[in-house]
Amino acid sequence: MAEQDWLSARFAEHQKHLQAVAYRMLGSRSEAEDAVQEAWARVSRADTGQVENPGGWLTTVVARVCLNMMEARRIRPEDAAGALPPEPAAPQASPSPAGRAGPEDEALLADSVGIALTVVLDTLTPAERLAFVLHDVFAVPFGEIGGIIDRSPAAARQLASRARRRVQGAAEASDAARSAKREIVAAFLAAARDGDFDALLDLLDPDAVAVGQVRGAEAVASFFAGRARAAHLALVDGEPAAVWSHRGVRRAVITFTVDDGLITRIATETDPDRLRALDVIFLPASTRGT
């Protein structure tokens, strides 16, 4: 009984870390919870007499469960998780008493791969994803990673390096796309403030739509010409957008969809509760060519 109590306490101590590992491995909150539950089922039946590093041992067990789940996805591709949802909250249910999150747990969650890059993780093989996530996100040594995937430390290093190059390539492409969109949105806001109808047309797709307002480039340009004087360029949940405030209170957020360098869709959010939930970072105004 004392051994089971010790194991339950160790599992609770590391549970948030294990949840973070599983989430980054699988890209799905529900699958991560399933993986952690399965890991608990396995370790609760194991002999812990030789365990000297509970955190490392538990991480290894969770990683092996996740590897099995990712391999199963390759057989059933329709079950793939796809892009990651927003960051997971702390688990609501636990097979053992929940431990309090410490600075290390929070750092592990904060140091994870950005949402904009997670789609590329789904293109990696299970072994590549495991090697990259465990090493680059959670600093697990290649020797331990090799043991999980039955490869040498050198082979595990090569897998992580290959995955890293692909992720870095995705990061560069994502940054370039975001920078281009920022300039397009900034140019649109400047043209709207100045009432420059022709400049607005140059930025709009012929079939552009302002959701709930008008459709077609000329109609959209006419609608915004001379407006948006109180709108400011900002990053809204990481994407270039415009924020309209009145007396310091956020009143509306205007988002833009850009395709092939032209704005295809403009949407305005005015719901106060939704506006308060948005992460907004104001940016200096700029225009293309500056």
Residue 255 lies in a domain: yes
Identify whether residues 117 and 196 lie together within a single domain: no
Supply the range of the domain harboring residue 67: 2-151
Q: Is residue 165 in some structural domain?
A: no
In a domain, 220, yes or no: yes
State both tokens at 8: 């339950």
Q: Could you tell me the CATH number of the domain that includes residue 47?
A: 1.20.140
Q: At what angle do helices 2-26 and 103-110 cross, to 10 degrees?
A: 20
- pLDDT tens for residues 66-79? 999 988 877 654 44
For 169-208, how does the pLDDT look when each residue is reduced to its tens digit (9 = 90+)?
766 666 666 788 999 999 999 999 999 999 999 999 999 9
In a domain, 257, yes or no: yes
Does residue 10 lie within any of the structural domains?
yes
Q: No. of H helices and E strands in the chain?
A: 11, 7
Confidence band, pLDDT 50/70/90 cuts, at residue 259: very high
**Structural domain count, the chain:** 2
Does 247 score more than 50 pLDDT? yes
Prediction pTM value = 0.49
The answer to the question of residue 168 being in a domain is no
Strands across the sheet with 204-210, in order? 214-215, 204-210, 262-269, 249-259, 239-246, 231-236, 280-282
Same domain? For 108 and 207 the reply is no
Judge residue 159's burial from the number of C-beta atoms within 10 Å of its C-beta, 0-12 exposed, 13-18 middle, 19 or more buried. Answer: buried
Question: Is residue 190 one of the residues assigned to a domain?
Answer: yes
- Say yes or no: 184 and 125 in one domain: no
SS3 label, residue 116:
helix
**Sole residue written with tokens 């039955």:** 150
CATH number at residue 267: 3.10.450.50
Q: For the segment 1-22, what is each residue's pLDDT rounded down to a tens digit?
A: 576 777 888 888 999 999 999 9
Co-location of 244 and 141 in the same domain: no
